[in-house]
Amino acid sequence: MNTIPNRQVICETLLELAKDDRDIMVLASDSRGSAAMAPFANTFPEQFVEVGIAEQNIVGMSSGLAHSGKKPFVTSPACFLSMRSIEQIKVDVAYSRTNVKLIGISGGVSYGALGMSHHSVQDIAVARAIPGLAIVLPADRHETKKMTEALVKYDGGVYVRIGRNAVEDVYESDDYPFEIGKAVIMKDGTDVTIIAAGETVRIALDAAELLSAEGISCRVINMHTIKPLDEAAIIAAARETKGIITIEEHSIYGGLGAAVAEVVVQNEPVPMKVLGIPDEPAIAGKTAEVFQHYGLTGDNLKQAAIELINK
């Protein structure tokens, strides 16, 4: 079982890349510890800025650094970065077309017991509506490494959301092609398609194995980039399978499910099911407990797929 959280992988990757690229900078909002960025701050103190608990300021400062030719990575809790700083993200990053990478740490329900104030299950919906802002949710530590390398080369604003704790691997290594805006077919299938992002990719793969035991062929798509969306992969899934299920650590409104549905209904309508957090304050508890409560499990996903096919 993997014990390395994605936030640590981001730090380790940036540490390696910053040796040869002194334009890489990291900014923290009193979050170097929770973002696992202390090693970067200690190694490259001139490339690290501690802003303190001032989320609007950290986005504005990072935009100024980007205008000066730097490559700033903002590390801040997703719940605060995506809500308190949304005007600065809209204007200073997206509208101004600045090369800022916004790393929302401890996203989704990974702050668990702290409840709704610390959950970030509306962030994708908000970010999706902002023109010029890409959105990426890596599935595991291997994809996080590939993503971080790609972010350094990517010219433009990006919102990234990662969880707090280590997650089970979905890839055996980082030896696979990764491209922002290009989905990954994790498993091919002809009966039903499950589309997932972030930590729910593991759940989708588990469900596919359960369905396989029932004789059902399930396609699994890792939609790591929610914007720009890989519409071709969605349309192909709609044409080649009998229905699509999405699963996400996010509200059922405005997130991955909504993005996929918008493509499906306008191009190749098929039955769909959107699994996520319902329209209520998410319960407080450990991530596994919250997922279990809302049916974000392999067993429930398997049953949803069977019901969809039977329709």
The pair phi, psi for residue 21, each rounded to 5°, is -135, 95
| Residue type at position 137 | L
Angstrom distance (rounded) from CA 304 to CA 245:
8
Task: Say whether 143 is catalytic.
Answer: no
The pair phi, psi for residue 55, each rounded to 5°, is -65, -40
| Residue type at position 138 | P
The answer for residues whose C-beta is within 8 angstroms of residue 46's C-beta and 6 or more apart is none
Of the candidates 16, 46, 50, 55, the residue annotated as catalytic is 55
Q: What Å distances lie between residue 117 and 28, 83, 103, 281, CA to CA?
A: 20, 11, 18, 9
First to last CA, the chain: 37
**What are the start-end ranges of the H helices in the chain?**
6-18, 38-43, 55-67, 78-84, 86-88, 123-128, 141-153, 200-213, 231-240, 256-267, 287-293, 298-310
Residue owning tokens 């996520």: 276
- Classify residue 112 by its DSSP letter: G
What are the tokens at 279?
Answer: 């329209």
Q: Which DSSP string corresponds to 61-81?
A: HHHHHHHTT-EEEEEEEHHHH
The pair phi, psi for residue 9, each rounded to 5°, is -65, -40
48-53-59 Cα angle (round to 5): 60
Angstrom distance (rounded) from CA 215 to CA 192:
12
Active site residues: 55
